[in-house]
Structure 1
Amino acid sequence: METQLAKKDFDATAETVLANAMVILSYLLAALPPATSRGSPSGDRVAEAANVSFMDRLWQAELGHKPLGERIADAVMRALFHDGFTVDGSDVEDKEPDSASPVVPALIWQEGVGPEGSHQPKNDLQENRVVVLQLLVTLLSGGAPTAPILQETGEEDAPSIDVRLSRLVILDVRPLAYLADPSRTVPFRAELLFSLLSVSLGYDPHGFGVPYGGYFAGAKQEAFAHVCLQALGLLLQDVRDATESRGDLSISSSLVARKPQELLVSRKSIPEEGHEGDRIQHAFREILSNISSAREVEFMVDGVITLLGTVSKEKGSYLPSSMRLPPFLPELLILVFHLTSCRKFVAGACAEDIVGLIEGVLLAASQAPEHVCETTLSLIEAAILLNITSYREVCAELDEDYEGNVPESIPDFEGSVADLVAMAALAQASEFLNKSKASTVHDSIVQMSFATVVNVSTFADGLCMEVSSRLFSLFERCAKAVQLKRSRQGVANHLPMLLEVFDNALQYRYTSNTNLAYGLMTRQAIFRDLVSLVPQVPIAAELEQENENAREQNRQWQEAVEAHLLPIAGLLEVTVPVLEAEVEKHEISNSEEAKELLPRCILGLMPPPHAFQMRHLRRCAATHIACEHILAASLGDGPYSPLWEVEEESTPNASGERTKESKKTRERSSSRARSTSRSRGGVSSAPSKVSGGGTPNGSGHEMEGSPA
């Protein structure tokens, strides 16, 4: 590779040699033993140890020489922008970036993101780019996609899910650490990120905009966008997100509350990415967060909304199967998760179509392919909703009526976009609440879901009846746990945020929240019980466990509950007797008529409005591992899946005969059938033969499609 890249006269023979060398090296790296789960056979653990030993040798520095791993990474980055191989740089005088011009616009594969000036051919060199990206992906992922912990597990119990999702599946992080380290000199980092974003978000899934157009758009371009998204996802990972929290899947310490009133001077809704205290910078994340021009932001927003919008268009198509869903929706959601940390992107989405973005995220998350764990995808969905509603600008745009499609998990409702977000969050909370006591992952999803409703509640101009009913149902479940167990452990731990939702709605949106206000007044007995029970909860907990940390947590929980419980209980003590007297006086038996008797104003009946809070999620172990598992599973089922296909050794069958079977990394017949039914369009992991010269299509090697 280094010899061919150093040649001044790069001809067809050099192209063939370089491509074949990269293919062979890809297979060598892809053949590494996978990460093993706890309780795996000793043979698997020995194989994993051999993998670690081999990777240690790749990154072992020798006297006077760079480690082999760094040489591979440097060669990959140079090959991605090598004149005559992956780019046409004939018009570029100096392709190497310098301090004065760190980015060379002419080398970016496609116009969209990055400085203007790219003039690269769209498809002429695409096959070579696929080969180099294949080596980059295998270098970054190792044997991760074959990890047994990603196999289908059926109906898992909550503790098993935590065990499975607590393990990193990429064994060696040194390749990414080297490429993403801002202090290291790595060529073409910005060009690579801009190229991957431009190709993946510039893909048109609609073809020529006619029915069945997606089938004529070209499967090769779809597969190329797919591999670009997978490479993007891997490059934006950072294992320090997991190590800084010591692998703890709880998000409690990463859930940050901010008061917008206190941020007026800085005019920031949340801290900018990469500038929180002592957080270590990440080169690719830094480049992403610095994308700010109106042209680039508009391109990214339009691209994301267009790709996510395929689900809605597919559901609303007047011709059956006239729209083909892209196969890379999980990878796209990971990219959206990273983009929600970029203030410029969120501001651009507000200006363009924030409703379309939110609708697309909800619909895409509901279309989990069989090779992706639904729990991990739900966690990423919850993180996206929480982070995007942590911006005041977003919440202020959610009051318009919603008339689009809703996921099947959300019941039909009539309301605003804020109601849509609240319904989606409450649906997740309701689904995972029962397991939240036994599973840290499920508890994290519930926490994020309730925090999302808190963010929306202050701005929503009246929560619809369906949202109010779901809120009261969850509230009664959490409050009942306090009455029965006299402890804050379990679902009662989520009580403070539910009370905060009620308090926000009453203090800031009382006149438009008659459904919520009336529901609270019909539940006065629950609030009376809570007022008497909450002070006893910490006492009971202290008797159960002599733990100073537990006592402090109980004290904080009690203070959080009482901060929102007492104002609501005080309001009910004043208004409910008057309401009951009026209802009895007018002999009203209809709830709608009773709502007409509610006080027109509660000014003076509650304390001065509290300073409302908006929460966002810092990057943490839970989101890092979820992204890693989704990416690993997607690699094993995506365009590069042939890299990880293995052939089992001969084994005797029931009749004593020895048979051979070809085994995919994930044995799911339905998933395989779906994957083969959608053509991967020629993105193959290897050339069909090694040749000594050029091929008729101008490439130095021949490529064939993935086996059907």
Structure 2
Amino acid sequence: MGGDNSKLTYRNVVIQLTTKTQPIDSNDNAFWERFWTDISISVQDMFVLIPAAEIRALREESPNNLATLSYKAVEKLSRIAEASFPTAKDQQTALNCIRLLTRLFPYIFEDPEWRSFFWSALPLEPDSAVDDECVPLAHSLISALCDLLFCPDFTVHSIAKSGPEGPEDMHTIDSCEYIWQAGVGFAQNPVHNTAHDSNRTEILKLLLTCFSETMYMERDEAQQTQNKWVSFFTSTNNRHALPLFASLLNVVCAYDPVGFGVPYNHLMFSDSREPLVEVALQVLCIVLETELTASYPTHSSQGYRNLVGRMSSEAEEASSTTATSAGDGTTEMNLFANYMSRIHRDEDFAFILNGLTRLLNNPLQQTYLPGSTKKVQMHQELLVLFWRMCEINKKFMYYVLKSSQVLDLLVPILYHLNDARSDPARLGLVHVGVFILLLLSGERNFGVRLNKPYKNRAALDIPVFTGTHADVLIIVFHKLITTGHRRLQPLFDCLLTIIVNVSPYLKSMSMVTANKLLHLLEAFSQPWFLYSGQTHYQLVFLLLEVFNNIIQYQFDGNSNLVYTLIRKRQVFYHLANLPTDQSTIQRILKRRPTTLPNSDHSSPESSPTISAKSKSHSIKDNHDAQTTKEGARKKSQADIISPTSAVAPAGNRDVNGSAIDTPEAESSGDAPTTNYASALQPALAETPAIRSMTDRLLANAAGSTSGDFHSSDGATHPLEDALISHLSPSRRFRSLSDNSSPPKLTSYPHESGDGLHSVPLNHPGIAHSSLLGENPTSMATERVTDPPNSYTSLNSAQSVNHHSSKSSGINQTPGRSDENASKHEGVGHGAGWVPTSDWAASWKAKMPFQTIMRLLQVLVPQVEKICIDKGLTDETEIVKFLQNGTLVGLLPVPHPILIRKYQSNAGTAIWFRNYLWGVIYLRNVNPPIWYDTNVRLFEIQRV
């Protein structure tokens, strides 16, 4: 039939179906066959010829006809899959049925009453009900689709058999011989066939559509309800589970979008493999989601067996495990996760890691000819897949960490963090990158690897410096905090936790990086910020722990940081002198900044989504403009040794002393502009609290946890007591050596009449919107989580009940946000919470000052003396002097290294599930499978 006539005929059939008010006889095969026989309708035409409104009308007004159409299409697919040798006509019929079901299913899932339809016992044949051979419609569909994924001459090449035997039929085929790509467990590389790739893609998209039933559940329901489609697909009922796992994984990891590197080849030739890789990647991410209670076996040398020809033994082993778990009443084993956990050979790990790093670094590749190489944009799914693999297979994660290629993963992650930091539509990507770095930072090898010099200048938009990958990480984190979107505030503690975890292993820090860290401390130690949130002080504790770790364990190579600590020592002196009396706290909060000239907080009626014209309210970092070049920088002697230089800001100010850049200047600065290519944005789930994501462990004591710590005197103290000083700042100073005079705790020149530390509110370089509590109208729509409560277990600091953010807390829709808006005291004042003198004094007394103050007490007089005696005006000479110094025997006994390791938790699992389905929703635009359907798992916002 001609193309136009075929479309017209098909449209007439659809109209006949949707206009009939009476049920059509299911035995009227002449009518039903017209939907898939003797026609060739592309999937794009299918979506045009069957409008969404007509599907919904059919579902509501003629449900029997919709049920019959679905049943007939599944039955047709099952019969084709059961045929010994499907003909070319059968294959086209199967494609038509697949496209039809892909169009119908999202609208069927919209109505919860239809869910049981797919799981009801329906006979495969009219007379089979007599024999009680009934299977749910969903089982028939999944089994048929899996069979078709290994159908010779349709989705795989037929293998010629020697002797009189013909090609294998669909009943006897060993699908392990038909794995799509060489790689893990399969050495043969099949010939690439464009038609096969296209057919595989369409089948996988229908499978993905079946799995998407989760998108049409409320978040609480999705958390409590098992996805039956995924469970059946990953169970032992799927005889193709093993070859499917290998095929999906190998197709993704073997894909090379650049190929032989011929310039502009992607403009001359279509790439049929990219759509297949994308959908395979999405299916893998979905099916590798496991229950939190699932455990995966560790393996001996025999370990992971070769996939080829071992399907039966693997299935038998999994079946026995499944039977055991069924007897215990637990969830059936996920074979895909089980197979992933069994991979153990270094060759397989290398293949997977090479594939992931190749695809993640693809957007960063620089060429002399603009646009000459193909760029793929599947980094979101790749990062989720990497996360899943690290959670399931710890041996893979350890392999990554011991390999230098871990830095090939780090650089693209930092690139995306930096690039997406001010784009509200890509905040989820920032979260994923931070979560992955938090996971990796819990291992010593990651911190050690960060000491490798960084040489790839063009990849990241960061200041010019000479340093290591650790410098890059800290600089990017600084930009996230100071110029990132205000809704990234729940990640501040995660970012600082990562720096804390790696800090004991950083051998050399550049001057630029040292200034960034001190700048963060300067910002977070503002009195109005510390007293405006119940847990804000924990950010200061984390930064102090970073400095303590480096001073105690990496002092020799970090003269740049030591010099910066001396230069900005007044920050520590003022923090030690922080007033804690109630009247002063109230005066500080009254003078607390509430808004900015360029602030545009959302109104209560507005959506949580930031408008396209809205900025991230960032203030450019002029504070460190002088330190972006590390040549011979001349400074006056007074600037080097003056205590006021710690807060002397640089940069242009307006007549009011403001260093806030105008929106025009901001858009032309280093903060990236928002990408408006996509008009839709799924709302993210609530960021899990850091306390639910990490477990505190001693890095230098295997197996140690955050239990009791035994000191040298034999006494037992809680672990946090070994990490912090319980002396007040004044008592601490008096306890130091009598041979050196204690530093004078002078005040800033910006000192108010009541003796308060009063840094100008518009101090350059920090995004005030990142520090300010959202005003009441903004809190109702932003729904930012509160910072966590258990970094240092300051029990005495909890004079009031701190809200324990539920790990399963979800970002609610605007209509339901009022009940959550009052729960967040991490920004501004929490509902019913008022800072008290006892509360402030409790955590101030536990600030870990002793190591830093001892360093300042010893080195400041020496630096001042050498500057005066030798007339030094160049800071490089001071740094050289510090390089030759030592604090051996002068510092307190080194504290134990405390590592906050990521631990699996429900909150993170929920967050990743919601984020992944949001990515899948937006990425599948050809055809737009879920567009304009009533998804309930997340809210679709227009940017």
Q: TM-score, normalised by structure 2?
A: 0.53
Instruction: State the partner residue of 1:511.
Output: 556
Does 1:31 find its partner at 2:107?
Answer: yes
* 3-state SS, counterpart of residue 580 of structure 1: helix
1:417 pairs with one of 444, 457, 469 = 469
CA distance in 2, matches of 1:589, 1:365: 38
Does 1:175 find its partner at 2:225?
Answer: no
Instruction: State the partner residue of 1:570.
Output: 854
Q: Which blocks of at least 5 consecutive residues in structure 2 are unaligned?
A: 1-76, 123-131, 162-166, 294-329, 581-725, 729-792, 806-832, 935-939
CA distance in 2, matches of 1:369, 1:546: 29
Structure with the larger RCO, 1 or 2 (CA within 8 Å, 6+ apart): 1
Q: Which blocks of at least 5 consecutive residues in structure 1 are unaligned?
A: 34-47, 150-165, 245-277, 649-664, 669-708
Instruction: State the partner residue of 1:74.
Output: 143
Q: Do the aligned partners of 1:636 and 1:666 also contact (CA within 8 Å) in 2?
A: no
Does 1:446 find its partner at 2:492?
Answer: yes
Q: Do the aligned partners of 1:428 and 1:445 also contact (CA within 8 Å) in 2?
A: no
Instruction: State the partner residue of 1:218.
Output: 270
Q: Do the aligned partners of 2:253 and 2:355 also contact (CA within 8 Å) in 1?
A: yes
Instruction: State the partner residue of 2:209.
Output: 138
Instruction: State the partner residue of 1:625.
Output: 911
Counterpart amino acid of 1:4? Answer: I
Instruction: State the partner residue of 1:705.
Output: none
Q: Do the aligned partners of 1:107 and 1:120 also contact (CA within 8 Å) in 2?
A: no
Residues 174 and 123 of structure 1, relative CA distance in 2, 3 Å threshold: same
Residues 503 and 224 of structure 1, relative CA distance in 2, 3 Å threshold: same
Residues 647 and 570 of structure 1, relative CA distance in 2, 3 Å threshold: closer
Q: Do the aligned partners of 1:168 and 1:625 also contact (CA within 8 Å) in 2?
A: no
CA distance in 1, matches of 2:494, 2:915: 20
Does 1:55 find its partner at 2:115?
Answer: yes
1:524 pairs with one of 569, 573, 580 = 569
Counterpart amino acid of 1:570? Answer: R
Q: Do the aligned partners of 2:363 and 2:375 also contact (CA within 8 Å) in 1?
A: yes
Q: Percent identity between the aligned chains? A: 22
Instruction: State the partner residue of 2:592.
Output: none
CA distance in 2, matches of 1:518, 1:381: 32
Task: Give the stretch that moved more between structures: 628-637 or 89-98.
Answer: 89-98
Does 1:643 find its partner at 2:891?
Answer: no
**For the aligned residues, what is the CA RMSD?**
4.4
Residues 112 and 561 of structure 1, relative CA distance in 2, 3 Å threshold: farther
* 3-state SS, counterpart of residue 272 of structure 2: helix
Residues 542 and 319 of structure 1, relative CA distance in 2, 3 Å threshold: closer
* 1:159-558 aligned within 5 A: 173-175=226-228, 177-179=230-232, 184-216=236-268, 218-238=270-290, 240=291, 282-313=334-365, 316-341=366-391, 342-349=393-400, 350-351=402-403, 353-364=405-416, 373-405=425-457, 410-431=462-483, 435=486, 442-481=488-527, 485-486=530-531, 489-531=534-576
Residues 56 and 617 of structure 1, relative CA distance in 2, 3 Å threshold: farther
Cα shift readout 1:211-241 (whole Å, capped 9, x = no counterpart) = 2133345322222222222222222335x56
CA distance in 2, matches of 1:514, 1:363: 28
Cα shift readout 1:163-222 (whole Å, capped 9, x = no counterpart) = xxx88999975135514766x533222322221121122222113212213334532222
CA distance in 2, matches of 1:618, 1:547: 21
CA distance in 2, matches of 1:389, 1:228: 29
Q: How many residues align?
A: 567
Q: Do the aligned partners of 1:25 and 1:135 also contact (CA within 8 Å) in 2?
A: yes
Which is higher, the Rg of structure 1 or of structure 2? 2
Instruction: State the partner residue of 2:89.
Output: 13
CA distance in 2, matches of 1:397, 1:127: 42
Q: Do the aligned partners of 2:506 and 2:554 also contact (CA within 8 Å) in 1?
A: yes
Q: Do the aligned partners of 2:85 and 2:169 also contact (CA within 8 Å) in 1?
A: no
* 3-state SS, counterpart of residue 515 of structure 1: helix
Residues 170 and 332 of structure 1, relative CA distance in 2, 3 Å threshold: farther
Q: Do the aligned partners of 1:567 and 1:606 also contact (CA within 8 Å) in 2?
A: yes
Q: 1:472 Cα deviation (Å)?
A: 0.7
* 3-state SS, counterpart of residue 437 of structure 2: helix
Residues 458 and 108 of structure 1, relative CA distance in 2, 3 Å threshold: same
Q: 1:505 Cα deviation (Å)?
A: 1.0
Q: Do the aligned partners of 2:138 and 2:229 also contact (CA within 8 Å) in 1?
A: no
Cα shift readout 1:382-421 (whole Å, capped 9, x = no counterpart) = 1222223333233323322211145555333221122122
CA distance in 1, matches of 2:135, 2:559: 69
Does 1:116 find its partner at 2:168?
Answer: no
Q: 1:142 Cα deviation (Å)?
A: 3.8
CA distance in 2, matches of 1:371, 1:580: 46
Q: TM-score, normalised by structure 1?
A: 0.69
CA distance in 2, matches of 1:87, 1:227: 17
Counterpart amino acid of 1:579? Answer: V
Q: 1:462 Cα deviation (Å)?
A: 0.9
Q: Do the aligned partners of 1:29 and 1:143 also contact (CA within 8 Å) in 2?
A: no
Instruction: State the partner residue of 1:158.
Output: none
Cα shift readout 1:568-618 (whole Å, capped 9, x = no counterpart) = 223333433443344344444443333344371112222332332334433
Q: Do the aligned partners of 1:468 and 1:516 also contact (CA within 8 Å) in 2?
A: yes
Q: Do the aligned partners of 1:376 and 1:627 also contact (CA within 8 Å) in 2?
A: no
* 1:151-166 aligned within 5 A: none
CA distance in 1, matches of 2:840, 2:98: 57
Q: 1:367 Cα deviation (Å)?
A: 5.8
Task: Give the stretch that moved more between structures: 115-124 or 608-617.
Answer: 115-124
Instruction: State the partner residue of 1:266.
Output: none
